[in-house]
Chains A and B, each alone.
Chain A
Amino acid sequence: MERAISFTLNGKPTRVTVDDERMLLWVLRSDLGLTGAKFGCGAALCGACTVIVDKEAVRSCSVPVKDIAGKHLLTIEGLSKNGQLHPLQEAFVHHSALQCGYCTPGMIMQAYALLLKNRRPTRADIVRHMDDNLCRCGDYNRIVEAIQEAAGATKARAS
């Protein structure tokens, strides 16, 4: 059903009038012009489309837009503040934790959700939380190290 749906997108009140059964990924990409979340599988199997809805990482390819009405949505585009990279973004650059970069926005958003809940994740915590996000270039170990580094930085900044 086509209707107006309101939510907060990267801190700004947003309203779209669309068929509310449409998946969030496509509304983000083709209606709101935010292409950071990627299409990889269309079936919540790869994590390239991961965004944050009310502090939880979700697969935007499999979440109907009606489910985010009234909620807070954070995408990769909203992660850096005033030109200042988020510690996760800095750590991904520092560890060269990317090659083709296609999975990177999803990886960072998935990791962001972890750090919201667990400020000091162990390596095992990170692997468990990240395991359904796929990277074909094989930078998994670097990503784990980047998340560990960012976790330290996040804590340092918060204190």
Chain B
Amino acid sequence: MKPDQATLTENGALSRRDFLKLGGTGLVVFFWVGPLDAFQQAPQPYAEAPPSTPTDFNAFLQIRPDGRVTCMVGRVELGQGLQTAAAQLVAEELDFPFDSIDMVMGDTDVCPWDVGTFGSQSMRVLGAILRAATAEARAVLLQMAAEKFNAPVERLQVSDGVITDPAQGKRVTYGELVQGKRIERHLGKVPLKPVAAFKVMGKSLPRKDALEKVTGKAKYAGDITVPGMVYARILRPPAHGAKLKSVDISAAEKMSGVQVVRDGDFIAVIHDRPDMADKALALIKAEFDRPQTGLDDKSIFAHILKNAQPPKVMAESGNVAGAEVANPVEHTYFHSYGAHVAMETHSALAMIEGGKATIWAATQMPFLLRDRVAQALGFSKQNVRVIVPYVGGAFGGKTNPQNGVEAARLAKMVGKPVQLVWRRDEDLFLERFRPAAVVKIRSAVNDGRIVLWDYTVYAAGDWGSITFYDVPNQRTVAVPVAETAWRKQDTAGGLHPFNVGPWRMPCAVTNTFARESHMDVLASKAGVDPVEFRLRHLTDKRMRRVLEAATKQFGWKAARTPSGQGVGVVCGTTYKTYVATAVQAAVEKSTGKVRVERVVTAVDAGVIVDPEGTRQQVEGCIGMGIGCALSEEVRFSNGEVFARNFDSYEIPRFSTMPKMEMVLIDNPELAPDGIAEPPVITMGPAIANAIYDATGARLFQLPMTPARIMQALKQS
């Protein structure tokens, strides 16, 4: 069984039996088996079955005669630190110096096939394969040395890539043994190092990319140059669904050094300087027929409720339909479209030479891009090479291959290498936004306990929708992720007026906002402190533990809400990571501005491999979660996107950041789980609950902009 073809259980987790087949001896101890990202199981972007990740260590490792080791992986460095973590893993399992390992990432001609870098799964999934391969390589090297020394394997010792036989006083390095050749020998599964024997893993090592990144030497796709390259800008419509009516390129063509190329509605300007291409593009006069859909960021929610695909019952217990309740509590929660806005816009350089295309691209999915470029150019896959240099952030947004494909088409049309760097407004226009979504909850409390929980989510998907609180009569109605528009990479014209896609922790951001806001509504109605109210409904030990850890560190003072303290608490889980967050926030009642002052997050993500890296990911999630909670909203009307730059799509900045404290719960009996996404889900509801606690005003829509807060204050 191949990991990318793994079957999923109904809750998205790889079954234990499948995992044993996947990982082999020893892996269960260490590598947690999480739900694979939906991309992994359903190869939607492919017309054919996807290839698979190889398991032959030669595909990943090259032991070079110069005494260094090259590790090749199809995944890419987006900032998440995989370059460092993968080298750390190889160093550990191979007994080789960390500093002598060179990583080659995301080069489709050199690296083994890989599904893509997303879903916080690089270590969970790729890591398991890489570790098994490396352990096997080490065992083969030992066997080769044993033959060379004519000594039993058991007698040999290995340290820093040098194998010694103390009895004979002999030594040989990996490089000398292999002499640059491919190792044609395999032992199959060999035992992995136990956690207790780790020397390199579990330590916080300096990032391999840090030096290049602080000196400006790190190359991103837009920094790559080749002789004779030119720069392109593409004419874009003013709105999604707009059709080109007429175009006048004469003024642009008159500009010195400009070439205009055209293939139907695909019109681009070319210049040997990037900013001059901008200038030329501005000279093109184009008229478009613009659609009148009547859809905007306000009417979209009614549109979703009316037209979203019908959700299905995902979980049910007790008797929801028949439950008779005296005073049901019903609310509807809304979540607006959100954008990824990595600091680096989509960028690529495409070069076609001797019938072969090479694309340097900012992408999370080099192999998908390779296949798409091959399709667009009519080339075989073997004649397309995608190379991914450092990527300047992605967050799910760079799963979209469009930019690289456009660069390749232009290189073919122009006959020269073409760089295509989307400008910020273009990047926002062509975003695959996190879909807007609606959640309806009907519920009831009796004697301080929830007796009814009827939950329906539209347009987001089922991840994180089923409540982990104990409620006798409950039902969750949702669309399974595999069937959602964002999962299918739906393009404009379906339910959504533009492209939608995965955004750091799909669905669960929306579902956690609705569930945890509503938990506070019910706690308030029951007159019970929100922490106590949650604990009453929690039997899951890991969830209780994170909640208790976060509130203890926070110094939570039990009170009925609204207490005037401005505190809020939230529990959440996604993948198999548990998170609880407590926040302190202040609301300026005259303006509706919120200042998040302090955030305490407790995380249980299994055994902690890299404490510093874990903290950094949690911090990133807190920051991004605050943006999602308070300011990030895509405004639009009739297909026109009003989010055009950082002034019309506001992301968090230095002054937004609260004091952050983390409680990392080490859970050594459980293998490590994803951490790059889960904490992000808790921020929206934690801040919503803190606003309520401070003011008595309940917010039902993310983001909670000053205008929405002012309106809620008026109504409270």
Contacts and interface: CB of A to CB of B under 8 A. Distances in A.
B621 to A, nearest CB: 7
B651 A136 contact: yes
Contacts of B210: 92-93, 96, 98
A36 B392 CA distance: 13
A138 B393 contact: no
Interface residues of A, number: 58
A98 B343 CA distance: 12
Q: A96, A127, A132 — which one has the most chain B CB atoms within 10 A of its CB?
A: A96
Interface in A35-51: 35-43, 45-46, 48
B439 to A, nearest CB: 26
Contacts of B621: 138
Interface string A121-159: 000001110111111111111111000000000000000
A101 B209 contact: yes
Contacts of A96: 206-207, 210, 612, 616
A123 to B, nearest CB: 10
Interface string A6-31: 00000000000001001100100111
Contact of A38 (B231, B341, B392, B624): B392
B623 A138 contact: yes
A26 B219 CA distance: 16
25 contacts: A22-B273, A26-B273, A35-B222, A35-B223, A38-B220, A38-B222, A41-B646, A43-B645, A43-B646, A45-B647, A80-B215, A93-B206, A93-B214, A98-B207, A100-B344, A100-B392, A102-B79, A102-B343, A102-B344, A102-B392, A135-B343, A136-B624, A138-B623, A139-B616, A140-B656
Nearest to A41: B424
B215 A100 contact: no
Q: A79, A108, A139, A140 — which one has the most chain B CB atoms within 10 A of its CB?
A: A140
Contacts of A99: 79-81, 393, 616, 620
B654 A131 contact: yes
Interface of A: 19, 22-23, 26, 29-31, 33-43, 45-46, 48, 75-77, 79-80, 85, 89, 92-93, 96, 98-105, 108, 126-128, 130-144
A131 B650 CA distance: 13
Q: B215, B225, B620, B651 — which one has the most chain A CB atoms within 10 A of its CB?
A: B215
Given A96-B616, A132-B653, A30 B273 contact: yes
A92 B214 contact: yes
Contacts of A136: 341-343, 393, 395, 624, 651
B343 A100 contact: yes
B343 to A, nearest CB: 4
Given A46-B343, A131-B655, A138-B620, A22 B660 contact: no
